[in-house]
Amino acid sequence: MKFFADTSDLDELKDLADLGLLDGVTTNPSIIAKSGKEFIPLIKEICDIAGGTPVSAEVAATDYETMRKEADVLRAIADNIAVKVPLTEAGIRTCKELSDEGTMVNVTLCFSPGQALLAAKAGAAFISPFVGRLDDISFQGLELIADIVTIYDNYPQYDTEVLVASVRNPMHIIESAKMGAQVMTAPPKVIKQLFNHPLTDKGLAAFVEDWAKTGQSIL
Ligand code: G3P
């Protein structure tokens, strides 16, 4: 499973890259607003850290004409840009055109298997189903992932990768990986939670204590 980081925080991205845990980056208008930084220069900096892996940069317009122009600006930033568009008619039309020209497109705000079919038919590189936001309204977000993986598996001609988004906890990652979703994007804090296990902490404390008793030093 590829790990994308759902953040524009440059220090967090560098940290994940150093750990070998950064396979791409996703942003959205809310993440950019939270950063307080200027969009295009920030995306350029993120592309440098991402080292050629996909960086999703989202259009702001909702009408096709403006969205299409914005998409052209975004894809010119770097070769590893995945233009992110909403799952609307304007978004799918933009996706189709960009994908036909070889640009990666990430179709976002997906909440149903039917929407995921539309993105695959438009040649999207990634479909982003939002598990956490479905959980928030008492639906089973992970069921959507299972449905999309099943449907895409039935049609090997679709190249679209399932990019599990709105990930809120390690179980979202683990269960999606068990289903075979190719990618997930999560805040770095959630990715780091995968390290945690009480038996690891307990075992390490015992090893440290026992090693001290030996009076030895490796260095
Ligand atoms: O980038 C899209 C998605 O990951 C947003 O997550 O937590 O705002 O629902 P969240």
Taking each helix axis from N to C terminus, what angle separates 39-50 and 10-18, rounded to the nearest 10 degrees? Answer: 10
The rounded Å distance from CA 186 to ligand 1 centre is: 8
202 has catalytic annotation: no
Nearest to 180 by CA among 167, 161, 158, 166: 161
Q: Concatenated DSSP letters for 157-183?
A: T---EEEEBS--SHHHHHHHHHHT-SE
Question: Which residues in 136-156 are b (16+ Cβ under 10 Å) and which e?
Answer: eeeeebbebbbbbbebbeeee
Q: What are phi and psi of 67, to 5 degrees?
A: -60, -40
CA of 165 to the centre of ligand 1 (A): 6
* Token pair of 36 as six digits: 């307080």
Nearest to 10 by CA among 52, 45, 53: 45
Measured from the Cα of 26, ligand 1's closest atom is 1
Residue 94 has a pLDDT of 98
Average pLDDT over residues 10-18: 98
State residue 56's pLDDT score: 98
Looking at the CA of residue 133, tell me the nearest atom of ligand 1.
9
Residue 9 has a pLDDT of: 98
CA pair distance 81, 126, nearest whole angstrom: 12
Atom of ligand 1 nearest to the CA of 132: 9
Amino acid at 70: E
Please provide residue 103's backbone torsions phi and psi, each rounded to the nearest 5 degrees. -90, 135
- Which residue in the block uniquely carries the two structure tokens 């679709």? 158
- pLDDT tens profile 147-194: 999 999 999 999 999 999 999 999 999 999 999 999 999 999 999 999
Which of the following is catalytic: 84, 96, 121, 192?
Answer: 84
Residues constituting the chain? 219
Q: Is 158 helix (H, G, I), strand (E, B) or coil?
A: coil
* Ligand 1 pocket check for 165: Cβ under 6 Å: yes
In angstroms, the Cα distances linking 159 to 114, 123, 155, 174, 178 are 16, 7, 9, 23, 20
**What's the pLDDT tens digit per position in 49-68?**
999 999 999 999 999 999 99
Q: Are 85 and 59 in contact (CB under 8 A)?
A: yes
Q: Say which CATH superfamily domain 2-214 falls into.
A: Aldolase class I (3.20.20.70)
Q: How far is the CA of 167 from the centre of ligand 1 (A)?
A: 7
Span 130-139, pLDDT tens digits: 999 999 999 9
Rounded Cα–Cα distance for residues 46 and 27 (Å): 10
* Domain extents in the chain: 2-214
